[in-house]
């Protein structure tokens, strides 16, 4: 079997029914916080590349290269797809030597346009390499056998990707009702606890107010012997009572305002949590910032 035929027929033996669809390892190796919050802009001819489709006429034939792009929501599924096909499937075939690395080794800057995953496919000599620029969602394939990727590998990669995405969507659908109920319970429990806390604070305020009034009234009673000499004493205690009462009412009003603000924050946080967990359906037309 020739080198070309071997590379083309490597899809034989790939069991689509037993593909490992678990994303846990990918998410551990590539946590969300090492990626930008929105894809950077592509530059040069890469700006014209297609979304998960290949235009073989985008570059001159002499470049021996093709490029396509994906969305931020599909970054992890594509990492998993490329690993499944090249590293785990082709990698067990002694005919091929698969080399894989992250460039740079550590992605300290999520917006660095150089952040990429490089996979090189050798069959005695380098056949082609794939470079996944994760900050722009750009996947570039370059090498002497790049058309083998276009004609034989890319259709299989898209099938693997579809199975991964379907698995993710199914998981989200199965857990969505539980998620919604959990968030609802969280909001209700927090609201109930805050209402109870507010009631306790209000009760304490009432007790404090009664105690203060009692003390003031007692002071007024013990001071009646002096009122003839100084009639302003009663007015003085009345002013103290009014001042303390106003202060307590302000604290109570502040408590109500804080309760309202906290409930607003809780609602917003719960909605954000729900949105993040449902992140799979994010639009491929996300806003972009700058790159390759």
Question: 7 or 244: whose pLDDT is higher?
Answer: 7
Q: Minimum mean pLDDT among 63-77, 181-195, 219-233: which range?
A: 219-233
Residue 167 pLDDT = 87
List, edge to edge, every strand of the sheet that includes 50-51.
Answer: 50-51, 65-69, 138-142, 125-133, 116-123, 97-103
> pTM (2 decimals)?
0.60
Q: 139, 104, 138, 135: which is closest to 36 by C-alpha?
A: 135
Residue 225 pLDDT = 41
pLDDT at 289 over 50: no
Q: Minimum mean pLDDT among 63-72, 127-136, 212-221, 247-256: which range?
A: 212-221
3-class state of residue 287 by DSSP: coil
Residue 224 pLDDT = 42
Question: 52 or 91: whose pLDDT is higher?
Answer: 52
pLDDT at 61 over 80: yes
Per-residue pLDDT band at 75 (split at 50, 70, 90) = very high
Residue 19 pLDDT = 86
Give the model confidence (pLDDT) of 222-232 as tens digits: 444 444 444 44
- Written as one string, the DSSP assignment of 257-280 is HHHHHHHHHHHHHHHHHHHHHT-T
Render the burial of 128-159: b for 16+ CB within 10 Å, e for the rest.
bbbbbbbbbbbbbbbbebbbbbeebbbebbeb
Q: 160, 114, 124: which is closest to 20 by C-alpha?
A: 160
pLDDT at 13 over 70: no
Residue 43 pLDDT = 94
3-class state of residue 150 by DSSP: helix
pLDDT at 156 over 80: yes
Tokens of residue 78, six digits = 């594509």
- The whole-angstrom separation of Cα 185 and Cα 194 is 14
Tokens of residue 29, six digits = 């190796």
User: Is-contact 81 4, C-beta < 8 A?
Assistant: no
Give the model confidence (pLDDT) of 191-206 as tens digits: 666 566 556 555 555 5
pLDDT at 284 over 80: no
């Amino acid at each position: 079997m020739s080198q070309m035929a071997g590379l083309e027929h490597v899809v034989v033996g790939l069991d689509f029914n037993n593909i490992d669809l678990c994303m846990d390892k990918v998410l551990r190796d590539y946590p969300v916080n090492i990626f930008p919050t929105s894809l950077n802009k592509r530059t040069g001819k890469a700006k014209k590349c297609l979304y998960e489709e290949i235009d073989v006429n985008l570059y001159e034939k002499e470049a021996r290269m093709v490029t396509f792009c994906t969305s931020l929501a599909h970054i992890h599924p594509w990492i998993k797809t490329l690993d499944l096909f090249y590293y785990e499937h082709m990698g067990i075939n002694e005919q091929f030597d698969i080399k894989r690395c992250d460039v740079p080794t550590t992605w300290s800057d999520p917006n660095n346009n150089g952040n990429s995953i490089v996979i090189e496919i050798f069959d005695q000599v380098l056949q082609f390499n794939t470079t996944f620029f994760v900050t722009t969602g750009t996947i570039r394939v370059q090498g002497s056998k790049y058309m083998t990727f276009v004609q034989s590998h890319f259709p299989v990669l898209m099938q693997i990707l579809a199975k991964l995405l379907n698995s993710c969507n199914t998981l989200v659908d199965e857990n969505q009702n539980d998620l919604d109920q959990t968030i609802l319970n969280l909001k209700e429990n927090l609201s109930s606890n805050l209402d109870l806390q507010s009631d306790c604070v209000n009760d304490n305020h009432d007790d404090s107010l009664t105690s203060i009034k009692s003390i003031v009234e007692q002071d007024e009673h013990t001071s009646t012997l002096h009122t003839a000499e100084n009639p302003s004493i009663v007015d003085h205690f009345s002013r103290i009572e009014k001042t303390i009462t106003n202060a307590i009412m302000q604290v109570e009003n502040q408590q109500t305002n804080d309760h309202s603000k906290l409930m607003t924050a809780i609602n917003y946080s719960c909605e954000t949590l729900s949105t993040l967990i449902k992140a799979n359906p994010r639009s491929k037309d996300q806003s972009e910032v700058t790159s390759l």
